[in-house]
Structure 1
Amino acid sequence: MEINDLTPAETRVWRAFATGSHVDFRASDDEDPADGGAWGAERTVRACMLRSLLLDGPRQEGRVAALSLAGARVTGRLDMQYATVDHPVRLRHCHFDEVPRFYAARLRELNVSESVLPGLIAHAVRVDGVLRLTRARFGGMVRLAGAEVTGSLYLESTRIDVPDAEGPVLQLNQAVLGADLWAPGLRARGEVRINGARVAGTVNLTDAVLDRPGGTAVQAETLAAEADVVMRHADVRGRLELRGARISGRLDLSHARLANPDGTALRASSCVIGELWLRQGPAVEGAINLRRAQVDVLFLEPEVVPHWVQLNDLTYTSLVPHEPAGRRLPMLEKGDSYLPFIYEQLTAAYRRIGDDDAARLVQLAKQRRHRRTLPWYGRLWGHLQDVTVGYGFRPLRAGGWLLSLLAVGSVAYALHHPPPLKPAESPDFDPVFYTLDLLLPVISFGQENAFAPQGGYQTLSYVLIITGWILATTVITGLTRTVSRQ
């Protein structure tokens, strides 16, 4: 393209390129590029001119050429597919009539911050620096699948509004970022896809609003983040899908709102996470799926847990904050079936911090939950163990029953001595030891075989004998269970 073919506005941009000078067509700093469709020829540049400039523009010795443009209307399609551009490309506060194409291009820097675009096609783009889309507004899909950025990708307060899109509105699947995915305040109406992406730094989605009700708002299966994934105060309307993700630092969902009432709100199954924080936010609307996940620190407040959770084979080293067992147990009851492993995990977490009382309560709850899966005779025997000795976790309860029965028997037989079987050979009657003889199935004080109660007192003796056997059996069963666990 010859300079004689350029408009005055394009000539200004062409000449500034050689020295890397900045060209700003804006009349004021608060202009809205959304109104750029009405801008006149004095601030309009053709996309074909920008392509020629980037591929074969003028150079000035001793200066770094760069395209630095603000407040322009770009007409036509900026098609840079497969191009190699050795100069920074900064098109800020601009209005694009058509979707730019950077498919498989190689760039030093791309910056379209604060611009308004109908979309962006940049699959497999390679940026040897940073890619800035800060506060840009997109009316169509942003396609960065397979992108490779040696620095950070900036999406602060970026807006992507494509509610009826057939596919994800932001594609970052298989992208490789050498630093951060920095997107606090991102607003996306439609699916955000980050499947298989690798981020050497932090994924920051603080204050983001990710809106796809009834569908998947964030698809981040097998995401690999070397630092943190931060979603503080985020508002996710739809499923947050993290199956198979690897997050070395923390997945921080503090103060976040997760809402997918008719399905799964958070799926982090088969993940490996350093720390998972679900705290100081409203209760999750929808299910949580943490099956087969491995978490070092699970920071989970009971108030955040929804009515349905899946914890099959979830492993964690520590559970914070420290809460009484009574506040943690409802979480284990919200699944669809009896899962012994989840009770053992919670028990181990309490034992690691020395709270043996809470650990015993969890084990007792486990036995009660298991009882509901048994046939009627198993449930009956379980109820007997529970009432008498609390499945061995409350052995003092058996002592209370024995003392109560001992008192009843001693008073009854003290008021009415049973007649001796052999008066000449019988020892002196002692109501306390006679009752103990009936209650204790192993120990004998010589009283039971020497006297024969009659009528109702004989019935009382049968009751004491049967109750003693039941108490002894349940105590032995409970102690055996306790010893076997230890």
Structure 2
Amino acid sequence: MEITDMTPAEERVWRAFPRGENVDLRDQGDADPARGADWGPEQTVRATVLRALLLSAPQEDGETASLRLAGARITGTLNLQYGEIEHAVRLSDCWFEDVPVLYAARLRQLNLRGSVLPGLEAATLRVEGVLRMSGCLFDGPVKLGGAQISGALFLDRADIGEPPPGQPALQLNHATIGDGLSAPGLRTRGEVRLTGASVAGTVDLNEARLTAGVGEIALDAETLTVEGDALLREADVLGWIGLRGARIAGRLDLSHARLVNPGDSTLRASSCTVGEIWLRKGPRPEGTLNLRRAQVDVLFLEPEVVPDEVLLNSLVYTSLTPHEPAERRLAMLERDGEGYVPHAYEQLTAAYRRIGDDPAARLVQLAKQRRRRGTLPWYGRLWGHVQDITVGYGFRPLRAAGWLVSLLMVGSLAYALHHPAPLKADEAPQFNPVFYTLDLLLPVITFGQEAAFAPTGGYQWLSYALVLTGWILATTVVTGITRTVSRQ
């Protein structure tokens, strides 16, 4: 294309390019890119001019060429497919008539900050520096699947419209980002796809509004790898978040977030590995929290924000914060959609034991036995009730001691009123009803009374009952004391 074919606006851009000078066409017209369709020729630049400029424009010795254009109405399709652009490109606050095509292109740096575009075709794009699309307004999908960005990707305050049926609003699947993904305040109307992506820094989606619809996927991040944090503080998500198989080295922060997907999972984080999960200071999620088979170092989960249904089978966590009484944590286990899950009780018990709260750990184990009782046949439930009432399944040793004292009083009174006959009258010691009853109740220990006297009739049956219950209760007391001592 000859320079004589260009409009005055295009000539400004062409002459500024070799020296990397800024060209701001807003100084001659409207400054709002949302009204770019109405801009006149003084702000209009053809996409074919920009393509020729980037691919074949002459260079000047001693100067660093770059395209720095603002406030332009870009007509036609900016097609840089497979192109290798050795210059920095900044097209800020521009209005694009057609979707730019950057498929498999290679650029040094790309800045579209504040521009209005009908969409972006940039799958497998390679950017050696930063890709900045802060504040952009996209009427259609943004396709960056398989992109390789050496620096950071900025999508803060970007707004992506509803895509065609069956397409994600934002595609970053299998993308590689050498720094962070910064998208606070992002707005999407459809799926955000991050499956298989790798981010060397932090994924920042704080205050994002991800709207997909009830039962639809809002954020698909299966097998995502993040070396930093994944932040969704104060995010508003309509649809479900998928993190199955993801690996997040830092924390997954959902503090103050609003997660809505009633009747289905709102967070699917099964089989993922996360340094910390923070779910706090926000409304209770409307949907199921699925953490099955996840591995978490720190689970920061406030009881108030636990949803009505959770899935915790095979969840492994090292620490559970904030520290709450066991009664408040047990409510979470009772909401498990799979019913009685023994592993969930063992994990909670282990968390309390790590911080030395043995009474809470015993309470969790007692709750586990009571929950298990409901899964047994009638005779198992009956025996379970007996164990619970008498000794608290062995986790209430003082209750067993109370039963021992009560039986001691009953036996002492019964045998005080009716002395059993001595086996050998000339050798028997003086009968003592208290120590005789202790001989019956306490295993191993003997006071010489039981072997010297022989009750008959109903008193003999009473002695059998005292011996049997004494073994059970005394063993429970010793076990409880031993458990407490071993924890200390």
Q: Does the aligned pair in 2 maintain the 1:181–1:203 contact within 8 Å?
A: yes
- Corresponding residue for residue 20 of structure 2: 20
Once residues 210 and 107 of structure 2 are traced to their aligned partners in structure 1, the CA distance between those partners, rounded to angstroms, is: 29
Closer, same or farther: CA 423–245 of 1 in aligned 2, 3 Å = closer
- Corresponding residue for residue 385 of structure 2: 383
Once residues 199 and 183 of structure 1 are traced to their aligned partners in structure 2, the CA distance between those partners, rounded to angstroms, is: 13
Q: Does the aligned pair in 1 maintain the 2:277–2:299 contact within 8 Å?
A: yes
Which whole-Å deviations, capped at 9, do the CAs of 1:384-420 have from their partners, x for residues lacking one?
1111111112112111012223334544665x54685
Deviation at residue 470 of structure 1 after TM alignment: 3.9
Q: Does the aligned pair in 2 maintain the 1:433–1:447 contact within 8 Å?
A: no
Task: Structure 1: state its 5+ residue gaps.
Answer: none
Once residues 429 and 483 of structure 2 are traced to their aligned partners in structure 1, the CA distance between those partners, rounded to angstroms, is: 43
Q: Does the aligned pair in 1 maintain the 2:91–2:112 contact within 8 Å?
A: yes
- Corresponding residue for residue 248 of structure 2: 247
- Corresponding residue for residue 212 of structure 2: 212
After TM superposition, list the pairs within 5 Å mapping 1:437-452 onto structure 2.
445-446=449-450, 449-452=453-456
After TM superposition, list the pairs within 5 Å mapping 1:226-241 onto structure 2.
226-241=227-242
- Corresponding residue for residue 405 of structure 2: 403
- Corresponding residue for residue 318 of structure 2: 317
Moved more, 341-350 or 35-44: 341-350
After TM superposition, list the pairs within 5 Å mapping 1:244-283 onto structure 2.
244-283=245-284
Q: Does the aligned pair in 2 maintain the 1:427–1:450 contact within 8 Å?
A: no
Once superposed, what is the RMSD of the aligned Cα atoms? 2.8
- Corresponding residue for residue 109 of structure 2: 109
Q: Does the aligned pair in 1 maintain the 2:103–2:124 contact within 8 Å?
A: yes
Q: Does the aligned pair in 1 maintain the 2:420–2:453 contact within 8 Å?
A: no
**Amino acid of the residue matched to residue 159 of structure 2?**
R
Moved more, 57-66 or 185-194: 57-66
Q: Does the aligned pair in 1 maintain the 2:401–2:473 contact within 8 Å?
A: no
Moved more, 200-209 or 251-260: 251-260
1:3 aligns with 2:7: no
Deviation at residue 70 of structure 1 after TM alignment: 1.0
After TM superposition, list the pairs within 5 Å mapping 1:421-460 onto structure 2.
430-433=432-435, 435-436=437-438, 445-446=449-450, 449-452=453-456, 458=458
1:472 aligns with 2:474: no
- Corresponding residue for residue 100 of structure 1: 100
Deviation at residue 51 of structure 1 after TM alignment: 0.8
- Corresponding residue for residue 373 of structure 1: 375
TM-score (normalizing by structure 2)? 0.91
**Amino acid of the residue matched to residue 233 of structure 2?**
R
- Corresponding residue for residue 293 of structure 2: 292
Closer, same or farther: CA 223–314 of 1 in aligned 2, 3 Å = same
Q: Does the aligned pair in 2 maintain the 1:292–1:312 contact within 8 Å?
A: yes
Q: Detail structure 1 runs of 4+ shifted over 3 Å in the superposition.
A: 27-31, 408-414, 416-444, 446-453, 461-468, 474-486
3-state secondary structure, aligned to 1:283: coil
Closer, same or farther: CA 42–419 of 1 in aligned 2, 3 Å = closer
TM-score (normalizing by structure 1)? 0.91
Once residues 50 and 307 of structure 2 are traced to their aligned partners in structure 1, the CA distance between those partners, rounded to angstroms, is: 53
Closer, same or farther: CA 471–279 of 1 in aligned 2, 3 Å = farther
Moved more, 103-112 or 291-300: 291-300
Once residues 124 and 452 of structure 2 are traced to their aligned partners in structure 1, the CA distance between those partners, rounded to angstroms, is: 91
Deviation at residue 293 of structure 1 after TM alignment: 1.2
Q: Does the aligned pair in 2 maintain the 1:392–1:482 contact within 8 Å?
A: no
Deviation at residue 430 of structure 1 after TM alignment: 4.7
Which whole-Å deviations, capped at 9, do the CAs of 1:421-479 have from their partners, x for residues lacking one?
999788766554455566568767249954547xxxx48x7567536624533654786
3-state secondary structure, aligned to 2:262: strand
1:354 aligns with 2:356: yes
- Corresponding residue for residue 142 of structure 1: 142
What percentage of aligned pairs have identical amino acids?
Answer: 59
